Chain A
Amino acid sequence: MATVGHACLIFALGCSLYGVVASLVGARTGREALVRSGRRSLYALFGLAVIAFLITEFAFLTSDFHFTVVATHSSTTTPWYYRLAAMWSSQQGSLMLWLTLLAGWSSLCVVMLRGRLRDVAPYAVAVLLGFGAFFTAVMLFSASPFETVPVAPPEGVGLNPLLRHPSMMIHPIMLYSGYTLFTIPFAFAVGALVVRRVDAEWLRATRVYALGAWLALGTGIILGARWSYVELGWGGYWAWDPVENAALLPWLTGTAFLHSVKIQERRGMMKIWNASLVLATGTLAILGTFLVRSGVLDSIHAFVEEGNTVAWFFTTLIVVMIAGSVYLVITRRDNALKSESRLDSLLSRESAFLGNNLILVAITFVVLWGTFFPLISEALTGQKEAVGPPWFDQYTVPLVLILVLLSGIGPVIAWRRTSWSQLWRSMRLPAIVALLVAVGCVVFRPGNGDVAPLIMFVVGAFAIATSLQELWRGTRARQAMTGEGPLSAFRLLLARNRARYGGFIVHIGVAVLFIGIAASSSFQSVRDVRLGVGEQATVGGYTFNYVKPIAQIETAAGRLERITLGSQVRVTKEGKFVGNLYPNRGYYPAIGSTLGAVSTYFAGESVSEIGLKAGLTKDLWTAETPDISSLMPVVRRGDAVFAKASGQGLKPQARAVFLAAALSGLTTRYRNDPPPAQFRIIVSPIVFWIWLGAIIVFIGGVIAAWPSVGAVRDRVRARQAARVAQDLGRG
């Protein structure tokens, strides 16, 4: 079916290019038929992308090694669910996923418009189809998933073992959904600027996609952090890696946009700022894809293959996007982007949002500068130098502290203006909570004297208290207005003010998440130790005892998948049993290796599986690197025996039986005579809060993004209209 898939890509490119032209000509000349035809091109692009996507997935599922992409990224020993996910571990497959998601979300958006924004939509469709044409062209000319070989190899290379983790099945989809969804507000911003109609209408029509993008990207980032924590074997969840940063950048500007857009909706202010933010977010989303797929910066997350030529495609696109965005904003700044009103008071929610925006953009600049510093330094000095986590922390930590503080102040300030006395009345209780936490920090002095995490506890407590207070007050006000019970009042408060109260829940989640980050990164105890069986190490008040080794062979589809060497580690605290941990390292065979029959099983990828006991207050984390050097003389002897036997005409079936016996002997030997192993042991406080905070953010985000029930909206609108009409009668 590779021919059909390839044909679909060619048709998709033609369809996209036609759609761009039809939409633009239709919009310029007012020919509705052309506009409609252009819109249909978008739907057709989605259909073609889905066919091509399914053909590729089917090839992965059936291990059709005629497809080069399948042979190089999957194997028969890869479990079926990872085979499905293996598609987007490849350059070709990830581009295909991008195209399919882009076409899918774009089609959904255009369908949901239902005839609104008729002047803006054709230009937006042209931009979205332009993205479609770009990704199709990249696949056709640089990274086609439909490249085949006449004779299929008997076995594939297999999925990178690092990616064999459940979160990796969802993480790329969420990231790419975030990136592709952010292109929708970008496209509509371009359309609105072209027709000089930068009002509340296009913001309202595309806000749900911006919120969806923010939610999807945030979920993807957290899943990536979780994967890093449990899979990469270094014990951290965030390393300021270029690919991590690439996802963070549009998320930051997207967060700023979601706040500042409220000001434009209400006051007609900050139009230039909002247009710039949404255009920057769309461009950063493409930049994120570029960083993951191009290999231009070194990253542990960038699974880039040799001979990669996509960098030039992406560079060209990003330059076009930046130049076009700057041109549109500059040429529209004096008319379409002119502000309709002014800031009434510095003591207003508008000001708090503006402050939040400035902080978020400052963090974006820091992250952008740090991420691209290797390229900047190479351009200026000829040497590629990278900045590490301490550099990022020195700028981002104070900015994040201010951001969390502002997230506590913003909800208690009214729109337009408020008085100091009113503000104090609203902030009194949260301020007392924050003060109590501050006193607790001074009295108990947790940690190592670092002040920043303690400040985070104080401002985080303030932000949580403020949002909880607002939810409580809102519920009480609703009860007073309607006489509803507390639960019913709370539920309807959320239902009828989704954006506002969903946003407050997000604030609670963000504060919980940052408290978790501050505590776990500042107060963790880490030790790298070498332990033999029966030996122990004490870390953070816990004793870790290497009880016994574990060695086993794991098979799949009748073939050896990996050899696992690990240990059972018993954890106690003050003599009391806490739990057992089972860290291990899996050794995957090198497919197509020219090494000896036995040593090839230790020449492939090796991946650490951590031992983790997670709790509300502490995480006990271990990773093990077994010392296999003592096994290597035996392995080499085995290689020599098999080489000699092969020369004497050993049959493949007999060879497999003897090889299995030899490997089994190796694992038995390891169990009976285990060498000391290297352990990394970490005791971290409240890491769980990070994941809990992320879940709260997700729930709040879903509440904010959930569409309003039409009947409710209409009823409210009718009531408000009646009130306005009554005022009109009085006037």
Chain B
Amino acid sequence: MSIIEPIIAIVILGLVIWFVGQPLRSRVAEQDDLRDDGRIADLRAARDAKYRQIRDLEMDYRTGKLSEQEWRSLDRELRGEAVEVLHELDQLVPPEQRDVAAPEPPAAPPASDPR
């Protein structure tokens, strides 16, 4: 074993200690950064899931898996649930931090089954 190998090992150890310990040496004051923002993340995930469901529901209707009546009924139900989620989200998130909806006009529901 040459002398170079222990030296390389010591250098690696030093680098690891420096890298892993860096946050502990940071001057930034220790604070409770782990505040519970979990509820907001939950609601955002729930909101995205609702949007996905609304889109999928529309695709189900357009590909013939649902009648127009069933689609409208379920669509209304899902939108109602999405509204509840958005309502709760608005209460938790300050206005400047909200991901605001673009002022895009909603897609008009089809007048009849395209098939």
Q: Bound pair: A and B?
A: yes
A residues with a Cβ closer than 8 A to B are 1, 3-4, 7-8, 11, 15, 18-19, 26-27, 30-37, 40-41, 43-44, 47-48, 51, 116-120, 122, 195, 197, 199-201, 204, 265-266, 412-419, 422-423, 425-426, 470, 473-474, 476-477, 480-481, 497, 500, 715-728, 731
CB nearest to A121 among chain B residues: B34
- Given A4-B8, A4-B9, A11-B16: A474 and B51 within 8 A (CB)? no
Q: Which residues of B contact A412 (CB under 8 A)?
A: 65
- Partner pick for A419 among B16, B63, B67, B106, CB 8 A cutoff: B67
A126 to chain B, nearest CB (A): 14
**Complex Cα distance A117/B40, Å?**
11
Q: Which residues of A contact B48 (CB under 8 A)?
A: 204, 717
* Count of chain A to chain B residue pairs whose CB atoms are closer than 8 Å in the complex: 200
A32 to chain B, nearest CB (A): 4
- Partner pick for A116 among B41, B52, B115, CB 8 A cutoff: B41
Q: Which residues of A contact B54 (CB under 8 A)?
A: 720, 723-724
Give 11 A-B contacts (CB < 8 Å), ordered by A residue.
Answer: A31-B30, A44-B16, A48-B16, A117-B38, A118-B37, A266-B52, A422-B66, A480-B62, A481-B62, A722-B104, A724-B101
Task: Please indicate which of the listed interface residues B49, B67, B115 has the most CB atoms of chain A within 10 Å of its own CB.
Answer: B49
A650 to chain B, nearest CB (A): 39
Q: Which residues of B contact A47 (CB under 8 A)?
A: 16
Q: Is the CB of A3 within 8 A of B65?
A: no
A340 to chain B, nearest CB (A): 10
**Complex Cα distance A693/B106, Å?**
41
- Partner pick for A418 among B44, B51, B70, B99, CB 8 A cutoff: B70
Q: Is the CB of A197 within 8 A of B42?
A: yes
**Complex Cα distance A665/B26, Å?**
76
- Given A116-B41, A721-B101: A35 and B20 within 8 A (CB)? no
Q: Is the CB of B62 within 8 A of A477?
A: yes
Q: Which residues of A contact B70 (CB under 8 A)?
A: 414, 417-419, 422
* B9-52 at interface with A (beta carbon < 8 Å): 9, 12-13, 16, 19-24, 26, 28, 30-34, 36-38, 41-42, 44-46, 48-52
Cβ of B114 within 8 Å of any chain A Cβ, yes or no, is yes
Q: Is the CB of A414 within 8 A of B60?
A: yes
- Given A41-B20, A118-B37, A715-B102: A425 and B12 within 8 A (CB)? no
CB nearest to B53 among chain A residues: A266
- Given A44-B19, A418-B70, A500-B56: A718 and B104 within 8 A (CB)? yes
Q: Is the CB of B101 within 8 A of A725?
A: yes
Cβ of B83 within 8 Å of any chain A Cβ, yes or no, is yes
Q: Is the CB of A474 within 8 A of B104?
A: no
**Complex Cα distance A413/B64, Å?**
10
CB nearest to A43 among chain B residues: B19
- Partner pick for B63 among A19, A120, A474, A727, CB 8 A cutoff: A474
- Given A51-B12, A481-B62, A497-B59: A200 and B34 within 8 A (CB)? no
Q: B-side binding surface: helix, strand, loop or mixed?
A: helix
Q: A-side binding surface: helix, strand, loop or mixed?
A: helix
Q: Is the CB of B66 within 8 A of A718?
A: no
Cβ of B95 within 8 Å of any chain A Cβ, yes or no, is no
B112 to chain A, nearest CB (A): 11
* B85-111 at interface with A (beta carbon < 8 Å): 86-87, 99, 101-107, 110
- Given A414-B66, A477-B114: A32 and B104 within 8 A (CB)? no
Top 4 nearest A-B pairs by Cβ distance?
A721-B101, A718-B102, A477-B62, A7-B9
Q: Which residues of B contact A197 (CB under 8 A)?
A: 38, 42
- Partner pick for A426 among B6, B41, B65, B99, CB 8 A cutoff: B65
Q: Is the CB of A414 within 8 A of B57?
A: yes
CB nearest to B22 among chain A residues: A40
- Partner pick for A473 among B36, B51, B52, B63, CB 8 A cutoff: B63
Q: Which residues of B contact A470 (CB under 8 A)?
A: 63
**Complex Cα distance A426/B101, Å?**
35
Q: Which residues of B contact A11 (CB under 8 A)?
A: 12-13, 16
B87 to chain A, nearest CB (A): 8
Please give 16 more A-B residue pairs, beta carbons under 8 A apart, in addition to A476-B114, A722-B106.
A4-B5, A15-B20, A26-B34, A31-B30, A32-B31, A32-B32, A34-B24, A37-B23, A195-B38, A200-B45, A201-B45, A422-B66, A481-B110, A719-B107, A721-B86, A722-B104
Q: Which residues of A contact B12 (CB under 8 A)?
A: 4, 7-8, 11, 48, 51
**Complex Cα distance A731/B84, Å?**
12
Q: Is the CB of B42 within 8 A of A201?
A: yes
B84 to chain A, nearest CB (A): 10
Q: Is the CB of A199 within 8 A of B42?
A: yes
CB nearest to A715 among chain B residues: B102
Q: Which residues of B contact A415 (CB under 8 A)?
A: 53, 56-57, 60
**Complex Cα distance A31/B29, Å?**
10
B interface, size bucket: 35 or more
Q: Which residues of A contact B42 (CB under 8 A)?
A: 197, 199-201
**Complex Cα distance A201/B6, Å?**
46
- Given A48-B12, A422-B66, A722-B102: A35 and B34 within 8 A (CB)? yes
Q: Which residues of B contact A265 (CB under 8 A)?
A: 49, 52
**Complex Cα distance A717/B63, Å?**
22
A427 to chain B, nearest CB (A): 10
B6 to chain A, nearest CB (A): 7
Q: Is the CB of A720 within 8 A of B55?
A: yes
Q: Which residues of B contact A34 (CB under 8 A)?
A: 23-24
Q: Is the CB of B60 within 8 A of A32?
A: no
- Given A7-B13, A31-B30, A33-B24: A723 and B106 within 8 A (CB)? yes
Q: Which residues of A contact B102 (CB under 8 A)?
A: 715, 718-719, 721-722
Q: Is the CB of A719 within 8 A of B104?
A: yes
Task: Please indicate which of the listed interface residues B9, B22, B105 has the most CB atoms of chain A within 10 Å of its own CB.
Answer: B9
Task: Please indicate which of the listed interface residues B37, B52, B70, B110 has the most CB atoms of chain A within 10 Å of its own CB.
Answer: B52
Q: Is the CB of A426 within 8 A of B64?
A: yes
CB nearest to B25 among chain A residues: A33
Q: Is the CB of B63 within 8 A of A36?
A: no
Q: Is the CB of B53 within 8 A of A716?
A: no
A110 to chain B, nearest CB (A): 14
CB nearest to B82 among chain A residues: A724
**Complex Cα distance A11/B9, Å?**
9
Task: Please indicate which of the listed interface residues A201, A425, A727 has the most CB atoms of chain B within 10 Å of its own CB.
Answer: A201
Q: Which residues of A contact B9 (CB under 8 A)?
A: 3-4, 7-8
**Complex Cα distance A699/B49, Å?**
25
- Given A40-B20, A719-B104, A723-B106: A33 and B49 within 8 A (CB)? no
Q: Is the CB of A727 within 8 A of B79?
A: yes
Q: Is the CB of B38 within 8 A of A266?
A: no
Q: Is the CB of A3 within 8 A of B5?
A: yes
**Complex Cα distance A40/B19, Å?**
7
**Complex Cα distance A418/B115, Å?**
18
Q: Is the CB of A418 within 8 A of B46?
A: no
Q: Which residues of A contact B80 (CB under 8 A)?
A: 727, 731
**Complex Cα distance A723/B99, Å?**
15
B30 to chain A, nearest CB (A): 6
CB nearest to A1 among chain B residues: B5
**Complex Cα distance A413/B50, Å?**
19
B83 to chain A, nearest CB (A): 5
Q: Is the CB of A724 within 8 A of B83?
A: yes
B114 to chain A, nearest CB (A): 4
Q: Which residues of A contact B37 (CB under 8 A)?
A: 118
Q: Which residues of B contact A419 (CB under 8 A)?
A: 67, 70
- Given A40-B23, A200-B42: A413 and B83 within 8 A (CB)? no
Q: Is the CB of B33 within 8 A of A32?
A: yes
